[in-house]
Amino acid sequence: MDDLRAGLPFRAEYRAALGLTPGRKLLVLTSTWGPHSLLGANMDLVRRALAELPHDEYRVLAAVHPNVWYGHGGWQVRAWLAPYLRAGLLLPAPETDTWKAALVAADAFIGDHGSLTLYAAALGVPGLLGAFGDDVVAAGSPMARLGAALPRVAPDVPLGRQLRRAAAAQAGDERLAAIGGLVTSRPARAAELLRRLYYERLELDEPAWPAVPRPVALPLPLPAERYGPVPPPMFVDARTEPDGTLVLHRHVAGLQGAVTGHLADPHLVVAEGDPDGRWAGAADVVLGRAPGPRETYRSAAERVFASHGGCWLVAFADRAGGGAGCVAVTRDGGVLGGRWEEGGAAALGFEVAASVLYAVAGAGVGAELTVSVRIGGGVGALRVG
């Protein structure tokens, strides 16, 4: 606990080491082991987190107890969570201490009756309980008190809304702070006390240097996941703020379930060639393959419209200028171009440009215009004409 707390001033460094870009939030799912644990009792929460939280706003990391990992086998755990790994779940191997850096870097947690939940609360991270082993937790223990103090995940309310409520309600919550204080009665002194005890037993003089808490080590980069070439179909919610900024929220379509409150009026973006037949007929926007040597954008789009009955706009990566731009053809024959203005906005990419063009085309475009775009922590300006 001391080492975790000693890391708090360096939160930015832990965030960077975990690959979090500015503005990206980190949700840590903490699971102990056994049938009452988060993974044991409510594995569907992993899906919900990746489905209901905006894809570009949150990263989701699962900190899994080694007894889950070694009890079932790391391959098996990864296989069970494979659809979520493909949707961006971070899953550090539990013999590493990446979970510590994640707790220090976290913006929110969803936990159970495991110790990591208690550590997260003690670090002041707002959170929810996704499961809780009421029967295995000792009455009166700090964990039992935490179980009584934290809200449980509601099955029918979008998780983003629940996390925002928890953050607002738990800021400055004295009851939670008191529970967090139970983790150690000698804050910041564990190294000193432990060393004194050891050396007394060893009948040796203690080393000359002081025994002080050491901030958690920065994590090594997580092993890179391998992805297929097909981007996952996305529901994209686009709305214009009063200042004219177009704000986009993307949600992985294939993970959606019964809760839909986070999807106000989305359009569905699907890649041409996606082998999952569910999407071809439902797509509003199709990310088209580059036109062949004898094709124009229009003729390539006609081919896509023919095989995607609900599609209204086909977007092609603009081959000129590094590929960050976009050429779009609408079903009524209109052709639109979009190009990100200089200044790092190219990172928002072709797929986001396609959704911006769909949003502005739906609103009817006359002359050229520049659209300010925000998605997750990223901002950009798309010149449309």
Partner 1 sequence: MPHAGSSRPSHILLRDNAGRWATAAPERTVLGVVHNVTSATRLLELLAPFEGDSRVHVVFTCTGSSAFENGTREFMAARQLPWISWEEAKRKKFDLAVSSSRGGELHKLNAPLVGAPHGAGYNKHLRREPGAGSREPGAGSREPGAGSREPGAGSREPGAGSRRPSAWMRNGSLMTGS
Residues lying near partner 1 in the complex (CB under 8 A): 1, 3, 33, 65-67, 69-71, 73-74, 94-95, 97, 113-115, 118-119, 122, 133, 136-138, 140-144, 182-187, 189-191, 193-195, 197-198, 201-204, 207, 209, 211, 214
Closest CB 33 distance from partner 1, rounded Å = 8
Closest CB 148 distance from partner 1, rounded Å = 13
Q: Of 250, 263, 241, 257, whose CA–CA distance to 375 is shortest? A: 250
For partner 1, which is the closer residue by CB, 154 or 194? 194
- Sheet containing strand 108-111, edge to edge, reads 58-64, 25-31, 108-111, 127-129
For partner 1, which is the closer residue by CB, 154 or 177? 177
For partner 1, which is the closer residue by CB, 145 or 249? 145
HEC sequence for 321-365? HHHCCEEEEECCCCEEEEEECCCCHHHHHHHHHHHHHHHHHHHCC
Residue type, 277: G
Query: For residues 104 and 1, what is the distance between their CA atoms, to the nearest angstrom?
Result: 11
Closest CB 197 distance from partner 1, rounded Å = 6
Closest CB 77 distance from partner 1, rounded Å = 12
Query: For residues 283 and 267, what is the distance between their CA atoms, to the nearest angstrom?
Result: 8
For partner 1, which is the closer residue by CB, 24 or 72? 72
Residue 123 near residue 5, CB atoms below 8 Å: yes
For partner 1, which is the closer residue by CB, 210 or 366? 210
Residue 253 near residue 235, CB atoms below 8 Å: yes
Exposure pattern of 366-376 as b/e (b: 16+ CB <10 Å)? eeeeebbbbbb
For partner 1, which is the closer residue by CB, 69 or 312? 69
Round to the nearest angstrom and report the end-to-end CA distance of the chain: 56
- Reading the block at residue 311, the tokens are 């599609």
Closest CB 117 distance from partner 1, rounded Å = 9
Q: Give residues with Cβ within 8 angstroms of 158, minimum separation 6.
A: 52, 259, 261, 262
For partner 1, which is the closer residue by CB, 187 or 385? 187
Closest CB 221 distance from partner 1, rounded Å = 18
Query: For residues 71 and 351, what is the distance between their CA atoms, to the nearest angstrom?
Result: 41
For partner 1, which is the closer residue by CB, 144 or 263? 144
For partner 1, which is the closer residue by CB, 143 or 327? 143
For residue 379, list its beta bridge partners.
374
Q: Of 262, 265, 240, whose CA–CA distance to 251 is shortest? A: 262
Closest CB 306 distance from partner 1, rounded Å = 53
Closest CB 219 distance from partner 1, rounded Å = 14
Query: For residues 311 and 212, what is the distance between their CA atoms, to the nearest angstrom?
Result: 62
Residue type, 48: R
How far, CA to CA in Å, does 289 sit from each of 90, 156, 257, 317? 30, 38, 29, 8
For partner 1, which is the closer residue by CB, 219 or 254? 219
Closest CB 199 distance from partner 1, rounded Å = 8
Closest CB 185 distance from partner 1, rounded Å = 5
- Reading the block at residue 75, the tokens are 């391959």
- Looking at residue 320, the DSSP 8-state letter turns out to be G
